[in-house]
Chain A
Amino acid sequence: MRRQVPLILCFVFGIVMIFTQFIPHSLSQSLHQEVRQWYLIIFPFALVFSSIALIRTHVMRIRRRTEHWRYSFLIFIGILMMVVIGVPFGPQHHVFEWLFNNVQVPMDATMFSLLAFFIASAAYRAFRARTLEASLLLVTALIVMLGNVPVGDLVWNTVFAWLPWENATSGMKQWILDNPNLSARRGIILGISLGVISQSIRIILGIERSYLGGGD
């Protein structure tokens, strides 16, 4: 009941979704649509539950007085600010939009912009041409960085004005992206896709059961 039924459900729903995609009969298509609707009904519950689970984690942090536990209260203030306006009036309410644009947006954008500083620092300290492979990575990165910005072509067109190739910096970058980069990426895509397909088959057949978690 605790493990067998979920395995059967997974198998039945998985098989239905595979076969109904290949059978154009109206009955098959209706079944496909019905299962799709079931998925769309169930899925939001999972998302709301995951949010509640995260709130619970912070309640536990406060209860157990873990490091920086007092800051967890700020999480509840943040949640309350959004939920008090958003749940009764909807996300279209101008106060909700104002909070999003003036509180969430600047913090989110700034948090990720910190990486610009750390990338520069790490590049200076660790980006070394120690081996042939590392040199390839480094040279490619430098060409792409230079080719991405207008100063790359400006310098080339000024310094190498006597050469017949205009905008060669961005041209080199484009060639790298279109050829060796494409090959490497395609190899990765093929590898990942074969992995996704085999994993999906294992899940449907009940060989892969990690989603059931531990216990009975």
Chain B
Amino acid sequence: MTEMAQTDTAVRSMDAVAARLKSRYAAERRFRALGLGAILLSVAFLAILLGSIVQKGWTGFIQTQVAVAVTFDPQVIDPDGSRDPLALDTADYATLVRNGMAARLAPDADRNARRDLTGMVSTMATEQLRRMVVANPDIIGTTATVWVLASDKIDMVVKGQVPRQLGAAGNALNDRQLGWVAQLEQSGQVRTTFNTTFFTAGDSRAPEQAGIWGAVVGSFFSLAITLLVSFPLGVATAVYLEEFAPHNRWTDLIEVNINNLAAVPSVVFGLLGLAVFLNVFHLPRSSPLAGGLVLALICLPTIIIAGRAALKAVPPSIRQAAAGLGASPLQIVAHHVLPLAMPGMLTGTILGMARALGETAPLLMIGMVAFIVDIPKSPVDPSAVLPVQIYLWAGSPERAFVEKTSAAIMVLLLFLVSMNMVAIVLRKKFERRW
């Protein structure tokens, strides 16, 4: 009887153990499923984001051109036949483009029809003909087929970004212009090519002429200034705090402040930049110099924190060995600790720079969010940066800027991804484990 009772309790406790075990396994499975779900969800969001950007933006990398048989009419370009360079420079090339278009599409066009014709090609065409004539005045009097840039409205229709029906969403062409587009396409006088303008031009209010080169150069200058200022300062601060400074209340206070600074919203740094760099030091407004200095302030805490972590990771035995061989504290740091900590510091710096590359808010305050056409030649010229250019285009009413915005986002992402890649490669290559 007692034996029976004993086995019964044993069986029951075995059951209880099995049940608990089962519930623990179940809890683990749930936890794993949750984790996997979280990852899948974020991957899905990322895929949707990237997908929509690429889908909207890939056409930004191609542009539409129209073939125009241009007669370089001496009567229009150079009526007195002097071939004076100034006269060639300022001649009415718009008329040449219009005449060429009219000859092909509507020989007896009235004033309104000629206006519609003008709206088909970009104003860049005029500039293109001017350059051709100035470079080679001998073509005056001849006729040549020239591929000129189509206007943004034609561009949108040809690339299929807006439907072709008259009055359809986003279609700004009238029936006459739509007919001409069909006519040109049938005779093979419309082509799409790689959009070099996008990578060589500055900003423009005409979407087909707008490019990101000005913003890329601006970003380059800003980041160069940021690196020059924040890297030496950040490394020096980290080395001093970690290797030389005494541990007392003051250094604790400094450490807390640095950690706080890393979390300060970036627009606050912009206000600081406005008050100090612009109003006190009178640095030029909208310049990458002022922008780079503000971004350096944003980067500094990241670099210092990463730098200190890298220095802490160097084992004390290295320092002791160097000291044992008679090295001075400066020699210990400069010859042994710092080279070993450098990969970690570089990683932190690159991540900080990647953050700086994506900032717009602080630059708003110092006037970098502006319409700037000229490509900056030095860090004191006014210039935009990549994220600012994206922000400005996203706010432009013209439909064709939608694809330009997404295309610029892709370029910015490419830069960010490659910077992060460099950080990973550096870490993999130079990282040492003890």
Chain B binds chain A:
no
Contacts from A to B (Cβ < 8 Å):
none
